[in-house]
Chain A
Amino acid sequence: MNRCLILMDGNRPETDLELLEVTRRIHGESQIYTMGLELEPKDEKPSGAFDAIVNFECGSVPPYDAAGIAMGAAALHEMYGFDTILVPATFFGRMVAPRLAMRLGVGLVADVTGIEHVGMQLEMIRPAYGGKLMAGIVKKGPGPLMMSIRENAFPATSGTIKQTRRIVFPFDHQPSRMTFIGAREKPQATDIRDSEILISGGGGILENFSRLDDLKEVLHAQVSASRRLVDSGVASRKIQVGQSGKTVSPRLYIALGIDGSVQHMEGLRHVEHLIAVNTNREAPICSLADVVVVGDAVEFIDRLVKRIQLQELSGG
């Protein structure tokens, strides 16, 4: 039996399912015992994804108390002896995982996006050099396998529904030396180079550039633009993709009304999935695309937004 500990993401249940998917990729379906560590105890009935959900006896531990969480998780490991420990590569998870790895004296691979079995060895795949290169990393030495997992990298397949047991683990954490004072909304100005999903507009959508925001909202994406839109004053240079703009490496790039000049395509070499919408199916950008939609970009936005909202309404 392979015992796996997953640090649950209190804000995004899909992440838990993705991490469970990773346990299956590592160990295979049949011999896994999965335990979810829930930092903020919830009253609702567990969904049946985990074999057990653990809460600390002291109640909630704030997500920013990485030292406290790592200490509790290490105590949990001492009791259960996990084979695998997975942490979501979220802002807070990225601060917890290194501490826990140090406490356990084991190696840690960050931001894993792929799992491969090479002979008897397990290779963890992660991007390096800003996604320009991928690295296959193996664990050395004793102790549990530990990694943080990039969100959206392992789409969940349906697992077995389990009778989830709730466990209260006796752990009393010390107050953190870090104090949370408050939070405020951030004005939207994220660097497009850091975006996972980019909705990008070109000459074909010059008059309707603001409509890209509709798709941006439903896909939780960022908006970028081709040089043509920047030169015509519609978009800011900060969001320009291409040789004279920025090289981007999102997982998904949706090119709306972009023909694809050489200099624009140069900025797209590290894109993982590319969908091009263009009235001309022979436009250069279509040669790079995984999916080409022939037609008007604004109509495409309307239809796709409606389709995604439909799914959200039906609870999917």
Chain B
Amino acid sequence: MKIVCLIKFVPDVEEFKYDYQRHVLIRENLKQILNPDDACAVACALMIKRSNPETVIEVVTMAPVSVSGHLEDLLRLNIDQAILISDIRFSGSDTFATTRVLARYLKQTTFDVILTGTHSLDGSTAQVPSQLAEVLGLPQMSNVVALDTSSFLKGKPSFDVEHDTSIMTFSVDLPAILSVSRDSAYKLPYVAYQDLNRDVSSRIRVLSHQELDLQPQETGLEGSRTEVRRSFVKNMIKKDKVILNNDREGIEAVYCYLHEHGFVP
């Protein structure tokens, strides 16, 4: 059994500071963290490996080589190998180009399941897992909150999915892509003390456009189908405030305000 964990490192959004004078978010020098949903996916894979020690776990990420330290920390957690897809040409890729790059690698390798996160802290489009599923011809499901290990090891896992007010249960024929949610109970363990300085660097394989045989026009901004033209902070400077009394007229005005902005029918 081989599990591929598709993961991403993202800026720690909670640390964003707001510059009130320049009216911008300060995004520089932010610490990179493992995307929380992806961390749950890795933790889920480790749970399976505990029941079935022959399971091989490979983490795959597309990132600058500066994330190597983070990958090494994961490798110290009973993860077998890491694939770091890294190339300056890949920067600026939208989800379309990113999918193309990841698919190029995943088509060359074998696996029984891809576990990944549903949302990322940065873009949070939740697009890449579904797009990959389409390119690889696999079933895919988002918001997985629990995975049944015994049915998984038989090749047809049943799993729970959180959707609005209900929990739905599905089963799927492997191979498949399952996107785990941070609302699951899966938590990454800490690295054991004796492993803190273990040298695991030889278990990271770095792949660039050459190994993946990707042309310049297939990746980065050029290979993208969308482009971020600008980013801006929602204007927080207030505001034509309305002051109302708590009477019939006031409530009517509140109701109209809610209706106007689509909160009530």
Q: Which of B127, B163, B236, B242 contacts A292 (CB 8 A)?
A: B242
Does B167 make an interface contact (CB < 8 A)? yes
The stretch of A38-46, A176-184, A206-214 in contact with B is: A176-184
Q: Which of B127, B158, B252, B263 contacts A152 (CB 8 A)?
A: B263
Does A111 make an interface contact (CB < 8 A)? yes
- Indicate if the CB atoms of B183 and A293 lie closer than 8 Å: no
Distance A129 CA – B16 CA, assembled complex (angstroms): 9
Does A296 make an interface contact (CB < 8 A)? yes
Distance A174 CA – B120 CA, assembled complex (angstroms): 31
Residues of B within 8 A of A152 (CB): 262-263
Does A248 make an interface contact (CB < 8 A)? no
- Indicate if the CB atoms of A183 and B168 lie closer than 8 Å: yes
Distance A4 CA – B190 CA, assembled complex (angstroms): 51
- Indicate if the CB atoms of B246 and A300 lie closer than 8 Å: yes
Residues of A within 8 A of B253 (CB): 291
Residues of B within 8 A of A165 (CB): none
- Indicate if the CB atoms of B131 and A140 lie closer than 8 Å: no
Distance A146 CA – B183 CA, assembled complex (angstroms): 29
A102-B134, A287-B238 in contact; A133/B127 too (CB < 8 A)? no
* A272-292 to B contact mask, C-beta < 8 Å, 1/0: 110101000100001111111
- Indicate if the CB atoms of A186 and B165 lie closer than 8 Å: yes
B28–chain A nearest beta-carbon distance, Å: 14
Residues of A within 8 A of B116 (CB): none
Does B44 make an interface contact (CB < 8 A)? no
Distance A185 CA – B167 CA, assembled complex (angstroms): 6
Residues of A within 8 A of B244 (CB): 291-294
- Indicate if the CB atoms of A295 and B134 lie closer than 8 Å: no
Does A202 make an interface contact (CB < 8 A)? no
- B18 closest partner in A (C-beta): A269
A66-B140, A183-B167 in contact; A132/B226 too (CB < 8 A)? no
Q: Which of B142, B170, B232 contacts A180 (CB 8 A)?
A: B170
A64-B141, A292-B244, A295-B245 in contact; A133/B25 too (CB < 8 A)? yes
Interface positions of A from 231 to 276, Cβ below 8 Å from B: 247, 251-252, 269-270, 272-273, 275
Q: Which of B123, B172, B228, B264 contacts A178 (CB 8 A)?
A: B172
Q: Which of A139, A219, A291 contacts B226 (CB 8 A)?
A: A139
Distance A307 CA – B233 CA, assembled complex (angstroms): 34
Does A312 make an interface contact (CB < 8 A)? yes
- Indicate if the CB atoms of B166 and A185 lie closer than 8 Å: yes
Distance A316 CA – B247 CA, assembled complex (angstroms): 22
Distance A128 CA – B124 CA, assembled complex (angstroms): 7
Residues of B within 8 A of A140 (CB): 224-227
Residues of A within 8 A of B150 (CB): none
- Indicate if the CB atoms of B254 and A110 lie closer than 8 Å: no
Does B200 make an interface contact (CB < 8 A)? no
* A292-316 to B contact mask, C-beta < 8 Å, 1/0: 1111100110011001100110001
- Indicate if the CB atoms of A99 and B133 lie closer than 8 Å: yes
- Indicate if the CB atoms of B246 and A111 lie closer than 8 Å: no
Residues of B within 8 A of A70 (CB): 134
Count of residues in A whose CB is under 8 Å from the partner chain:
90
Distance A296 CA – B247 CA, assembled complex (angstroms): 10
A186-B162, A307-B251 in contact; A107/B224 too (CB < 8 A)? yes
How many B residues are at the interface, by size bracket?
35 or more
Q: Which of B96, B130, B176, B238 contacts A99 (CB 8 A)?
A: B130
- Indicate if the CB atoms of B246 and A293 lie closer than 8 Å: yes
B15–chain A nearest beta-carbon distance, Å: 11
Residues of B within 8 A of A272 (CB): 234
Does A192 make an interface contact (CB < 8 A)? no
Distance A128 CA – B230 CA, assembled complex (angstroms): 12
Residues of B within 8 A of A28 (CB): none
A76–chain B nearest beta-carbon distance, Å: 16
Distance A275 CA – B263 CA, assembled complex (angstroms): 13
- Indicate if the CB atoms of B163 and A91 lie closer than 8 Å: yes
B234–chain A nearest beta-carbon distance, Å: 6
- Indicate if the CB atoms of B230 and A316 lie closer than 8 Å: no
- Indicate if the CB atoms of A290 and B241 lie closer than 8 Å: yes
A99-B133, A134-B234, A290-B242 in contact; A64/B170 too (CB < 8 A)? yes
- Indicate if the CB atoms of A308 and B255 lie closer than 8 Å: yes
Does A108 make an interface contact (CB < 8 A)? yes
A178-B141, A304-B254 in contact; A108/B241 too (CB < 8 A)? no
- Indicate if the CB atoms of B233 and A133 lie closer than 8 Å: yes
Distance A70 CA – B127 CA, assembled complex (angstroms): 14
Residues of A within 8 A of B239 (CB): 288-290
Interface positions of A from 127 to 184, Cβ below 8 Å from B: 127-141, 152-155, 176-184
Distance A287 CA – B236 CA, assembled complex (angstroms): 11
* A37-78 to B contact mask, C-beta < 8 Å, 1/0: 000000000000000000000000000101100100000000
Question: Can you report 19 A-B residue pairs in the complex whose CB atoms are below 8 A from each other?
Answer: A95-B130, A99-B130, A102-B134, A106-B225, A140-B227, A155-B262, A177-B176, A273-B263, A275-B254, A275-B257, A288-B238, A289-B238, A290-B241, A293-B254, A295-B245, A300-B246, A308-B264, A312-B265, A316-B265
Q: A110-B126, A290-B238, A308-B258 are in contact. List 9 more A-B contacts (CB 8 A).
A: A99-B134, A106-B225, A107-B224, A110-B127, A137-B227, A138-B227, A219-B264, A247-B14, A291-B241
The list of the 5 closest CB pairs from A to B, nearest first, reads: A295-B246, A107-B225, A98-B130, A107-B226, A110-B125
